[in-house]
């Protein structure tokens, strides 16, 4: 992927054309401490259509060390930059992280298809 290189802050890539995503990012922007940069995928000129689609299908967070986090893991990490981040940590507990990930996957696929007109019988 020809995305921007890792920086000193974590970079959360989000769909700025999704109303729900935009509202959540507004909350994150308002409450996040230093160390998190929010990047609207639609503002990136350096990626091709396949890369843009990949980013739009899942929330992506690029750590300063170059590691990627996706989906719920990316969301939990992003919220850890706020005073209420501890409230999101239970979503990664082993006891229910599998269920949370499946629910997120279904929601993310439906959200993508609703906004970008695809067939749900062939996600990704």
Query: pLDDT by residue (tens digit) across 32-42?
Result: 989 999 999 99
The pLDDT score that the predictor gives to residue 7 is 76
DSSP string of 16-37? TTSHHHHHHHHHHHHH--TTEE
Kindly provide the b/e burial profile for residues 73-87, where b requires at least 16 CB atoms within 10 angstroms of the residue's own CB: bbbbbbbbbbeebee
The pLDDT score that the predictor gives to residue 5 is 64
Distance CA 46, CA 70 (A): 20
Question: Token digits for 73?
Answer: 């893991």
The pLDDT score that the predictor gives to residue 4 is 61
Residue 60: enclosing H or E segment and its boundaries? strand 60-62
pTM of the model: 0.87
One pLDDT digit (tens) per residue for the chain, 124 residues: 556 666 789 999 999 999 999 999 999 999 998 999 999 999 998 888 889 999 999 999 999 999 999 999 999 999 999 999 999 999 999 999 999 999 999 999 999 999 887 754 454 5
Residue with tokens 């507990």: 93
Distance CA 63, CA 6 (A): 7
């Amino acid at each position: 992927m020809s995305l921007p290189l890792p920086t000193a802050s974590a970079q959360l890539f989000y769909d700025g054309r999704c109303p729900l995503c935009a509202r959540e990012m507004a909350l994150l922007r308002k409450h996040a401490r230093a160390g998190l940069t929010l990047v609207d995928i639609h503002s990136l000129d350096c990626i091709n259509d396949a890369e843009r689609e990949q980013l739009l299908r899942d929330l992506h967070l690029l750590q300063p060390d170059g590691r990627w986090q996706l989906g719920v893991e990316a969301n939990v990490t992003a919220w850890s930059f706020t005073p209420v981040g501890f409230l999101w940590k239970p979503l990664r507990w082993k006891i229910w992280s599998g269920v949370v990930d499946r629910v997120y996957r279904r929601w993310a696929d439906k959200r993508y298809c609703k906004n970008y007109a695809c067939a749900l019988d062939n996600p990704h």
